[in-house]
Amino acid sequence: MHTIERPARGPSPPRPPTAGWFHGFGPSTDTGTAPLRLVCVPYAGGTPSVYRNWAAHLGDGVDVVPVLLPGRGLRLREAPYIAVGPLVAALVDAFVEHELAHDYALFGHSMGALLAYEVACELRDRGLPEPAHLFVSGSKAPHLYGDRRDHTLSDADLRQLVRDLGGLGADDTIGSSYLERRLPVLRADLTACETYRWTPRRPLSCPMTAFSATRDPIAPPHEMEAWRVHTRGSLLRHHMEGDHFFLNGPARPHLLREIRAELARRSDGSGHPGTAERDRLPTAKREPSWIY
């Protein structure tokens, strides 16, 4: 019998850094004392800047945890995912490592809503708690995906699509400059979304809130209403003024007000915030949607 000699092994290489998934959020030992965490997933091409200053307006009982996906910001050197399944599996691995799968809610806009839903399902399938609440914004229900091919557009047409959807903000020149650097990751994200096909499964048990906008062709009201079949809990739907990127525009105070009220009910049963708390909500300023 021949003995196979294996090369000597030095110290094990470090695992890929999962801390990078949660922008500005340390390991579980540094999670702080907030009773409820709102994990926020960005839209295609988006970054944690989407949720800048949210923590200051959702109350002391909520810890906002933005997700930083590969291919942007401090993870610029990492290749973005082009399929939802592997992306969700990796994100859930990081979720588990950081012990985030308790006392948490999920918010996602557009692609982020789809990812948040899949994360909730994957956590449940691993025997972990579902979110206390799932907020979905600017995204059709998962079973309706598969009717767009935006990831195949030319660069020029993709730029025009983002412009038409309101993603460049008030200053088209600044927005275009940021978008130009984001085109590869945007195309990768769109590939993941548009090749996604929903797998039939039992509905979630958690309550949901769905946000749609008056001028959003990506997620019209009836396609937001279709989220109802994906929960055995309640679904509350809000229809707001704005385009696809309404969460960056004048509707943002309304959006944050509704999220805050719902989380207050979930965390301490206090119901809607009082007048003083409402007055602290921000006055929205339209910014390019591609700023990190």
Can you count the helices (H) and strands (E) in the chain? Answer: 7, 6
Residue 227 to residue 185: CA distance in whole angstroms: 27
Order of strands, sheet of 235-240, starting from the edge strand that comes earlier in the sequence: 62-66, 36-41, 104-109, 134-137, 208-213, 235-240
Residue 251 to residue 243: CA distance in whole angstroms: 10
CB-based contacts of 242: which residues, under 8 Å, 6+ apart? 166, 213, 214, 215, 216, 249, 250, 251
Residue 242 to residue 240: CA distance in whole angstroms: 6
Three-class SS state of 62: strand
Residue 191 to residue 287: CA distance in whole angstroms: 25
Residues labelled as active-site residues: 110
109's enclosing H/E stretch is: strand 104-109
The DSSP secondary structure of 144-184, one letter per residue, reads G-----GGGS-HHHHHHHHHHTTTT-S-HHHHHHHHHHHHH
Residue 146 to residue 98: CA distance in whole angstroms: 33
Residue 234 to residue 133: CA distance in whole angstroms: 10
